[in-house]
Each structure stands twice: as C-alpha cells, then as structure tokens.
Amino acid sequence: MVLLLALVLPVALSGTAAADGGKSARTWTVQVGSESSDQAIQGMSFLPKNIYINAGDKVTWEANAAEIHTVTFLAEGQTIESTQPFDPFSPLYISAQGGTSYDGHSYYNSGVMSNVSNSGFAEVSSYTLKFPDTGDFTYYCLVHGAAQKGTVHVRAKGTDYPYTQEQYNNRVERAERAIIRDGYQLWSDARDQADNHTVIAGADDGVAMVMRFIEPKVVIHVGEKVSFVNNGMGEPHTITFGTEPANPFPPLGDPTNYTGGQLNSGILPPGVTFTVTFNKAGVYDYICALHDYFGMAGKVVVKD
C-alpha cells in the first residue's frame, strides 16, 4: 500500500521539471481503472490520481478496464456519502451530466465508463472537460465512492508544468503493476478462507478488486449448505443461479431449499453472507450478475 501511494501521489522528480512556459492550451490524459490481462484483477484508481494543468487546458479520461466507473465532480455542498450506494437506474448516475467546460461548482458526470461493450450500460470510452478557472477540483467514481477519487490541480495560465504527459504515463505504468500485485496477494489471502462449503465472493481492499469467485467449484452432498461471503470493503456482488433476472437487485427464490431453477441473492454488499441449502443432486452454475461479463462465475456440484 505504501509503495502504491508513493507511485500514484505526485512527488518531486529528479532533474529539471518539464516546462515550456505553458504558452498554449494542452489536453492531458488520465486513465480510469486498470486491470490484469485476464480481467480478474481490477484497479480502483484514477491514474494519475493527481494531475497538474493550467487554466484553459483540457483533461480526457479514458476507460481502461472492464469494471464500470464514473468520473464525477459533485455539486457544491454535495458529499460523496449522499450519492451512495450507486443507483444503476438513475440518469444522474449512469448518463453524462453538465457541459464540456467545468464551472467549478456544479454537478458534472461522465456517465458509466468501461472498455467493453457488454457491461449492461451504454459504452462510454472517454470523457473530456475543459478547465477555464484555477483551483483544486476533486472528483469521484460513483460506483466505488470515497475509495476512488482524484484531483485536477489547475494553476494560472502560463505556469510551468511540473510533469510531461510521458512522465505521468511512466508513473501510471508502475502504479498499474503495483495494483495488480496487490490484487494477486489479496486473491491468495482469500483462498485461505475458502473451502467446499465457503465461497469468497470476490475481494477488494480499496486498491484492487478480485473479480472472481474464490473456490469457484465446490463439491457437496444433498442437504448440505454453501455460504457465499462478500468480505471486501466496497464492491457489491450477486449470487445468481439459473436464468439471470432482468433486474438482479431484488432477491429471488428460496435459498433454504434450493433444488434448481432461478435463485438470486440480490445485491450482496460487503460484510454480508448468502447461504444456500442444496436439496437435490445436480450441477448448478452460478454467476455474479454484475460482473459475469468478464468472468465472475462458479459451479456447485451436489452429490447424493
């Protein structure tokens, strides 16, 4: 964690800071999220977390992960806590809000961003804002709340830039590698908590998210139970058997007597366990209805 913060937070670079006097407006790039090559590990960061620009410059945020995120500047007096939990049915959360030039105090939102087209939302791969006024402007991801935020530091026009885009990019690459290492360590730690009767429904620690069921295939006998545990810090999941419902948020079916067909936990927030008693032999596939599109699926084999 310390290493990651050191990579993400801006610190003085050795040598002369890059500068051209800031004579012309520029467009800067920030990555939204990060992921491993198999999408199992997802990052909960804007990279770079802090970016220093001049008045009149633009910032373009680019979707860099299958996990959904937003880039959201809250209205003056609004708190990130007041926006939680994320509402996937509200246009204020999932659609673009505000104009293309940030006024420093109103609500601006990118809409849901992802680098895949099957996330269940309209694909938004990039979002650009112009910053005409000086100030330090913090923004959030509405999906992940206070755990994922960044700041655009806008100085007066003509101020020397402390970093080039290339220098930011180099730091971002190092931060991405640190996030993925963090995620694989998180995955390894979670395996110690799983067995044939306990499935860990993902894991997250505010830096990385494991988008897999840990102990994804379990073998039990008729009449036995399996507990699906979300022990993360902020990421919700579902446990969904059978046909995926159009709305995965409400619970569906009876987990105390499951013999096949549709069964849905509804949203399983961190700290919650969903226990299913299997009363018929068979092979039962299940998914997280929020994250199945990049591989979050499992199987329960029930023997006589």
* 150 and 224, same domain (yes or no): no
- The CA-based angle 23-29-32, given to 5 degrees, is 155
Bridge pairing between strands 272-277 and 225-230? antiparallel
As a whole number, mean pLDDT of residues 55-60 equals: 98
* 57 and 115, same domain (yes or no): yes
Question: In sequence order, what are the residues at sequence separation of 6 or more whose Cβ sits closer than 8 angstroms to the Cβ of residue 224?
Answer: 197, 277, 278, 302
Pick the more confident residue, 170 or 14: 170
pLDDT of residue 212: 96
* 159 and 256, same domain (yes or no): no
Question: Which CATH number fits the domain that encloses residue 220?
Answer: 2.60.40.420
Type of residue found at 261: G
Q: What is the pLDDT of residues 30-40, one digit of tens each?
A: 999 999 999 99
pLDDT of residue 117: 83
* 198 and 162, same domain (yes or no): no
Residue 240: which pLDDT band, with cuts at 50, 70 and 90?
A: very high
* 220 and 280, same domain (yes or no): yes
* 75 and 129, same domain (yes or no): yes
As a whole number, mean pLDDT of residues 132-138 equals: 98
pLDDT of residue 18: 46
Q: What is the mean pLDDT of the chain?
A: 91
Instruction: Extract the tokens encoding 186.
Output: 């998180």
* 66 and 111, same domain (yes or no): yes
Type of residue found at 46: F
- Residue 88: helix, strand or coil by DSSP? coil
Q: Is the pLDDT of residue 285 over 70?
A: yes
Token look-up 């067995």 returns 195
> Domain boundary at 159, 184, 209, which?
184
Q: Can you list the positions of beta strands (E) in the chain?
A: 27-32, 41-43, 46-47, 50-54, 58-63, 72-73, 108-109, 126-130, 135-141, 145-155, 198-204, 208-214, 217-221, 225-230, 240-241, 263-264, 272-277, 282-287, 297-303
pLDDT of residue 235: 86
> Domain boundary at 184, 206, 241, which?
184
* 127 and 266, same domain (yes or no): no
Question: Do 302 and 282 meet the contact criterion of CB atoms below 8 Å apart?
Answer: yes
Phi/psi at 174 (5° precision): -65, -40
Q: What is the pLDDT of residues 66-104, one digit of tens each?
A: 999 999 999 999 999 999 989 988 999 999 999 999 999
pLDDT of residue 64: 96
Instruction: Extract the tokens encoding 268.
Output: 């399983």
Residue 4: which pLDDT band, with cuts at 50, 70 and 90?
A: very low
| Total domains present in the chain | 2
Percentage of the residues of the chain whose pLDDT score is greater than 70 = 92
* 201 and 106, same domain (yes or no): no
Q: Is the pLDDT of residue 19 over 60?
A: no
Note down the domain range covering 123.
2-184
As a whole number, mean pLDDT of residues 233-256 equals: 93
* 80 and 214, same domain (yes or no): no
Residue 23: which pLDDT band, with cuts at 50, 70 and 90?
A: low
Question: Could you tell me the CA-to-CA distances from 103 to 109, 138, 171, 264 in Å, in that order?
Answer: 13, 13, 29, 43
d(CA 5, CA 2): 5
Q: Can you list the positions of beta strands (E) in 33-107?
A: 41-43, 46-47, 50-54, 58-63, 72-73
Q: Is the pLDDT of residue 1 over 70?
A: no
pTM of the entire predicted model: 0.85
For residue 188, what is the DSSP state? H
* 203 and 180, same domain (yes or no): no
Q: Is the pLDDT of residue 156 over 70?
A: yes
As a whole number, mean pLDDT of residues 248-272 equals: 95
Q: What is the pLDDT of residues 198-232, one digit of tens each?
A: 999 999 998 999 999 999 999 999 999 999 999 88
- Residue 209: helix, strand or coil by DSSP? strand
d(CA 145, CA 62): 19
As a whole number, mean pLDDT of residues 223-249 equals: 93
Q: Is the pLDDT of residue 25 over 70?
A: yes
* 236 and 88, same domain (yes or no): no
For the chain, how big is the Rg over CA atoms in Å?
22
> Domain boundary at 118, 152, 184, which?
184
Q: Is the pLDDT of residue 17 over 50?
A: no
